[in-house]
Amino acid sequence: MISQGTHPAGLRYLSRSTIAAQAAMTGGSTSGQQRQAAPQSAKDVKVAFVGAGGINFGTPEGPWNHSARLQLLPGVTFSAICDPNLELAQKRIDTLSAGEHGDKWKGCKTFPSYQAMLDAPGGPPDAVFIGLPPKFHGSLDDPNADIEVQLARAGVHQFVEKPLSVRPAEEVGRLSQELQRIQKDNGVVIAVGYMFRYAPLVEAAKRVLKETGAKPLGVVGRYACAYTFIEKRDWWDTALSGGPIVEQATHFVDLMRHFCGEIVESSIKAVAVGPSVPLSDMPKPPLAEHEVPMERRINRVTAAVFEFESGAVGSLTHSALMHKSHYATELEILADGLHLVLQDPYGSPKLLVRRPHSEEYVEENINHDEDMYLREVEAFIDAVRIGDTSAIKSLYADAALSYQATQWITAASNSGHMGPAAPEP
């Protein structure tokens, strides 16, 4: 029943709701060197980007492109792009300044680092979109990767892309606690890009569960990645990406938590087909794993089973085996008399439902005109304006629990590698 899909290059846009003309101030007091994060009027929210790469500015690999969506929001302007590759950052500004929304990019500057941006005259931006390789953010202990804490202390609202880190789950847990402490003090908003929570497909599944009153007892995730065009050496290096469960299947782990609650660490059992198994259609050197040490290469297949605190059970299979660009992704939810099949959430989403006392699978109506990527950034910008995070479906404190679960699964699978021995040099 698994469906074939791809990451479409086109954008689907959401019809925007009216944004409040004037925002209320949030409460909270300042302490130490922390700057109070004040909501903005509907006329102007200054946004900066940390990272000039594909997640913020688009890539042929998929539909993600935060700047393209943010341009559609009234009152959003762009103040800076921070990236060591200043030439690329300036190219982004030049291209977008010449586009339909070029007026939003007037005065946008480039900086080699977010620290340089914070130190520049004119003060910090209102909000930052963090689109960095996970090695370079998500740390509490490494001063070269503690951007979230530093921006939070400066009172800068943040939208952080997954994966949150490559650090141990324990460190990210401590980071999450520190960020929550700062948030209570200065009201800074920190959201995370788990976009599927905003998908009409997922909302429709939630609606069916609510209508039937069914309690999920089982969830099955299957994620077959197509690897031919993943031309990013970092992705193939677990030290830089965290591995495919942390970097990619994290979206399904997050959805499983969204439907079933928290995973019990001690219940996780996992095995993997390790990196000694060769792949025949990977990108040419040096864009894949050719220069990556064997012990840091990614697993080819990971299979895990686990229990949730709710009593439900789950299984997840991730593979990096398909050729070309089409992925095969599917999530099933099982309850008494109820079977939900969420097909192809990246490409052409479809929800099939078998209801109690029926043997027929019926396709639910889904609004395919709504764009989950636009909805997540819209919810974030609205929260920055009014100081109310209730529309944000993935706040950092919750997302840290999804990251924790992916690290648990990865650790369990690495203790159970399968596959032939590496060939002799």
- Domain segments of the chain as ranges: 16-193+375-392, 196-369+404-418
Q: Which residues, given as ranges, of the chain have pLDDT below 50? A: 6-32, 419, 421-425
* Rounded Cα gap, residues 319 and 244, in angstroms: 8
In whole angstroms, what is the distance from residue 272 CA to residue 197 CA?
Answer: 28
Q: CATH topology for 16-193+375-392?
A: Rossmann fold (3.40.50)
* pLDDT score, position 138: 99
Q: What is the pLDDT of residues 113-151, one digit of tens each?
A: 999 999 999 899 999 999 999 999 999 999 999 999 999
Domain topology for 196-369+404-418: Dihydrodipicolinate Reductase; domain 2 (3.30.360)
Query: Residue 230 has which token pair?
Result: 């993943």
A 10 A CB-CB count for 41 gives: 12
- Taken as a whole, the chain contains a residue count of 425
Residue 49 to residue 109: CA distance in whole angstroms: 10
Question: Is the peptide bond prior to 163 cis by the omega test (within 30 degrees of 0)?
Answer: yes
The string of DSSP letters for 374-389 reads HHHHHHHHHHHHHS--
Q: Is the peptide bond before 345 cis (omega within 30 degrees of 0)?
A: no
Residue pair 389/383 in contact by the 8 Å Cβ criterion: yes
Residue in the structure block whose two tokens are 């990971």: 302
Three-class DSSP category at 153:
helix
